[in-house]
Amino acid sequence: NAGVTQTPKFQVLKTGQSMTLQCAQDMNHEYMSWYRQDPGMGLRLIHYSVGAGITDQGEVPNGYNVSRSTTEDFPLRLLSAAPSQTSVYFCASSYSGLSYEQYFGPGTRLTVT
Return residues touching another protein (CB under 8 A).
Answer: 31, 33, 35, 40-45, 48, 50, 58-59, 88, 90, 92, 96, 98-104, 106-107
Element (H, E) at 92: strand 87-94
Are 79 and 18 spatial neighbours (Cβ–Cβ below 8 Å)? yes
**Burial degree of 92 (CB within 10 A; 0-12, 13-18, 19+):** buried
Distance CA 113, CA 103 (A): 30
Task: Please identify, using beta-carbon distances, which residue of 1 and 40 lies nearer to another protein.
Answer: 40
CB of 17 to another protein, least distance (A): 24
Task: Please identify, using beta-carbon distances, which residue of 2 and 98 lies nearer to another protein.
Answer: 98
CB of 45 to another protein, least distance (A): 6
Task: Please identify, using beta-carbon distances, which residue of 17 and 52 lies nearer to another protein.
Answer: 52
